[in-house]
Structure 1
């Protein structure tokens, strides 16, 4: 019986969706419509965190080691070359550092060390690497601007980056034409050196988020601020704007929507027709059955989850996912590449449970979900894991 219990508590990693750049880690260059159990990461030990980008993935181990795989044509994998990686591989340039946070953007990557140093690589054509130029880099390079700061987080979007430093100040760099840098009341084409985001003074920021041309920040009080491209066709926002009147504990950004998990466990969405994914009158009518009428700020509460306790939310480019306390993983939105894991390429307006041919028992394995632009990962974390 002891052996069975030990086997149950082994970490499991599953992937599905778009895979033609090797981002699923299956060793195949093809899409997968159902969850695939991965074995390619087992030799590296447990994985504590994943970040999924446009078509690449960055993995972090509890000891601060970094792995990457998938699309690498812009150098975003950090392996010293601009080629795709079919299998997970250690980022050798970071082996001398204990990395505590990573972020995968569309074609660039960021890494934060235990000592508060920031490293970036990949596409730099909009200044999104923060090195004062628009050059791309195929190996992680330290961002000198933050030498006198202790960086805590980086969030990489489509063509911009946000950085959170100790003390709560947020900095932006890269493309700013939709207001996603939050540095001015006017349009800023791009910046190659970090500049402080305005409008967040005297607010204790806990997390920053970036995807597409959107930016967001979650503060210690549970308030969420958003800026950048306007949701649902609204005007672009150049200075962080408070999402009211609710208090949240998690946020997840897509290309056209933001998912918000409230303190009481309810899920809200801003953008699109409740899921921020699919447009059209028919889709809007279907979504009216799932969501309340938006409030003055455009925020909608999702009815399809009534009575369920939500533990985690995640958003890809145009799909969404969440974890329920019974171990269920649910997805909805754009499904063209099989990123919903439901066995087909159908779009879904409401949450559907993903079948893993096994049941996640929260007493043994607690699933966490991570979304890339058109693909999804689930990591089953041992319940007693400290990571």
Structure 2
């Protein structure tokens, strides 16, 4: 019996490995402890739930989506953001039982609230509602996921949770596709030319009518949308020295964008060719001294924003994925390298120390992966990081 259990365990490791590092004071690393980890830590506890296909890392909690559409959460839960019916933190992952009757296709973790979208287009929210960010028409918090009734006849495709606001992208070719609710004092809802303190009911995000939006993102007081032709639109708190914008503005960056990752003071952009650029950011080493670093190149578009290219290594090395935490960044290169830079106070760069880094550094996992032909994906929370190493054949 012992040998059979060992074989099962090895097979699970070969299918997928999960690693975490950084701030752990609320249990967000799923290590079973409340301490920071300065180097990647192998997480064995999540293998019991089957392959995980997506993670969303928030202020200090994590939402995991399995291949079967089940939802796991762990970390800080003091506002009910874990969806387990109580306002307590969890050091280990637990299934969100209130969503067991649904196949969930998209999730998002904000600072202290959470959003979940089902395959039928229903959207559920829970956690802190004190800014109206749950979209239920009140400012109450919720410990269980509750369906946002406003979208009962408007199927939802994606949800994006920022610090105190939420964006929703509707499904299909609809004329008006993005809605916002929650805090709007920095313009992050995009619902009015005037300053809006908050709204607890979904409101239409202006300025994106008749555009085919394929993805949305939110973090801190920032919001963004990406159109099918690679055009980027941003609103909310300005990056760098730029002023706040209250409705979506086209970012004239002179090249089509395929992926966006927002931090608190910066944004990462990547092209279909794998080039990575950064907007804003001048704290904790996120962009300091980059003009003197051999790993960056200045690129200036027609907008007022400075856009700097991030070069992870030799010129022929390209990125296949990007991620942004509060004030740190990560990418995966085409050759499978995991690279991080920026703020490192909690060990969130995974480099074995708490130093900041102004250019991408390679993260070494603690041991050689047992996942053959593994495809790594990186996810960043406010001060922590996760990596999924998954066999390509697992979902093929």
Q: TM-score scaled to structure 2, two decimals? A: 0.92
Q: Shift in Å at residue 287 of structure 1?
A: 5.0
Distance 1:63 1:289 in 2: 41
1:374 paired to 2:379: no
1:271 paired to 2:271: no
Q: Shift in Å at residue 357 of structure 1?
A: 3.4
Unaligned ranges ≥5, structure 1? none
Give the match's secondary structure for 1:291. Answer: strand
Q: Aligned Cα RMSD in Å?
A: 2.0
Alpha carbons of 1:358 and 1:294: their partners in 2 closer, same or farther (altered >3 Å)? farther
Q: Are the aligned partners of 1:292 and 1:303 in contact in 2 as well (CA < 8 Å)?
A: no
Moved more, 75-84 or 231-240: 231-240
Q: Are the aligned partners of 1:8 and 1:365 in contact in 2 as well (CA < 8 Å)?
A: no
Alpha carbons of 1:362 and 1:352: their partners in 2 closer, same or farther (altered >3 Å)? farther
Q: TM-score scaled to structure 1, two decimals? A: 0.94
Look up the match of 1:64. Answer: 69
- Aligned pairs for 1:196-211 within 5 A: 196-211=204-219
Distance 2:286 2:369 in 1: 34
1:162 paired to 2:170: no
1:112 paired to 2:108: no
Q: Shift in Å at residue 277 of structure 1?
A: 5.0
- Number of aligned residue pairs: 382
1:317 paired to 2:322: no
Look up the match of 1:336. Answer: 345
Look up the match of 2:246. Answer: 238
- Aligned pairs for 1:69-148 within 5 A: 69-148=74-153
Distance 2:222 2:147 in 1: 25
Give the match's secondary structure for 1:43. Answer: helix
Q: Shift in Å at residue 234 of structure 1?
A: 1.0
Unaligned ranges ≥5, structure 2? 1-6
Q: Are the aligned partners of 1:16 and 1:375 in contact in 2 as well (CA < 8 Å)?
A: yes
Within the candidate set 255, 258, 263, 1:249 is matched to 258
Give the match's secondary structure for 1:255. Answer: coil
Q: Are the aligned partners of 1:124 and 1:135 in contact in 2 as well (CA < 8 Å)?
A: yes
Distance 2:353 2:170 in 1: 42
Distance 1:7 1:22 in 2: 23
Give the match's secondary structure for 2:15. Answer: coil
Distance 1:29 1:54 in 2: 15
Q: Are the aligned partners of 1:73 and 1:84 in contact in 2 as well (CA < 8 Å)?
A: yes
Give the match's secondary structure for 1:13. Answer: strand
Look up the match of 2:3. Answer: none
Within the candidate set 226, 233, 243, 2:234 is matched to 226
1:171 paired to 2:179: yes
Within the candidate set 23, 32, 47, 2:52 is matched to 47
Q: Are the aligned partners of 1:73 and 1:82 in contact in 2 as well (CA < 8 Å)?
A: yes
1:20 paired to 2:25: yes
Distance 2:166 2:126 in 1: 12
Within the candidate set 199, 202, 218, 1:194 is matched to 202
1:9 paired to 2:17: no
User: 1:161-182 CA deviation, whole Å, 9 max, x = no partner?
Assistant: 0000113500000000111001
Distance 2:121 2:134 in 1: 16
Q: Shift in Å at residue 361 of structure 1?
A: 9.0
Look up the match of 1:290. Answer: 296
